[in-house]
């Protein structure tokens, strides 16, 4: 798992429209990258819509938002349209990027263990270095912490 102060792992992932997106495409801007388990679920929708609602604050500090999950692009597109999300959602079905960020791991629900996404977010600075990392964060805390870090004046 990359730590604050280290270079963020680059990636080349398909977005909801099937277009390849690279982290390096955003050099010169701050990036809020959030990893979520599954499009359309209650916690993921709360997180994604909370970030959507804070876009004016993020835009004011030259920050873009990118979502990351193992969902396929068509599922991401449907969810993006349904929730009016103004940012790209990236598909990582083989978990390569999620593994690189250290958030594909063992989870437990109702006593059963399974592999899945550990909800997290990172703020990546204009040079591609991790400036903040929030691992295993709740949806509401993710939004509040992202705003507090990126746009404390908001």
pLDDT in tens, 96-139: 999 999 999 988 888 999 899 999 999 999 999 999 999 999 99
CATH of the domain at 112: 3.40.30.10
- Residue linked to tokens 């920050």: 63
The verdict on residue 6 lying in a domain is no
The verdict on residue 3 lying in a domain is no
Q: 132, 40 in Cβ contact below 8 A?
A: no
pLDDT < 50 positions in the chain: none
Q: How far is CA 5 from CA 20, 58, 66, 74, 122, in A?
A: 26, 21, 20, 34, 12
The verdict on residue 30 lying in a domain is yes
Tell me, what's the pLDDT at 7? 97
Domain span holding position 84:
12-150
Q: 119 is written with which tokens?
A: 């909800």
- The number of folded domains in the chain is 1
In whole angstroms, give the CA distance from residue 20 to residue 145.
Answer: 28
Partnered with residue 32 across adjacent β-strands are 65, 123
The verdict on residue 7 lying in a domain is no
Q: Residue 114: left if φ>0, alpha if ψ -120 to 50, beta else—which one? A: beta
The verdict on residue 2 lying in a domain is no
Tell me, what's the pLDDT at 153? 79
Q: 61, 93 in Cβ contact below 8 A?
A: no
Partnered with residue 115 across adjacent β-strands are 106
The verdict on residue 84 lying in a domain is yes
List residues with catalytic annotation.
44
Q: 60 is written with which tokens?
A: 């004011």
Tell me, what's the pLDDT at 131? 98
The verdict on residue 61 lying in a domain is yes
The verdict on residue 1 lying in a domain is no
């Amino acid at each position: 798992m990359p730590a604050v102060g280290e270079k963020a792992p680059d990636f080349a992932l398909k977005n909801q429209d099937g277009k390849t997106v690279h982290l390096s495409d955003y050099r010169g801007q701050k990036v809020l990258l959030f990893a979520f388990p599954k499009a359309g679920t209650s916690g993921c929708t709360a997180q994604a819509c909370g970030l959507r609602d804070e876009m004016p604050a993020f835009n004011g500090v030259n920050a873009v938002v990118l979502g990351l999950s193992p969902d396929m692009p068509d599922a991401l597109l449907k969810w993006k349209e349904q929730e009016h999300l103004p940012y790209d959602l990236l598909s990582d079905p083989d978990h390569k990027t999620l593994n690189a960020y250290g958030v594909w791991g063992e989870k437990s629900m109702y006593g059963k263990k399974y592999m899945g996404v550990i909800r997290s977010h990172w703020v990546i600075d204009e040079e591609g270095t991790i400036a903040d990392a929030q691992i295993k964060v709740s949806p509401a805390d993710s939004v509040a912490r992202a705003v507090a870090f990126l746009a404390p004046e908001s």
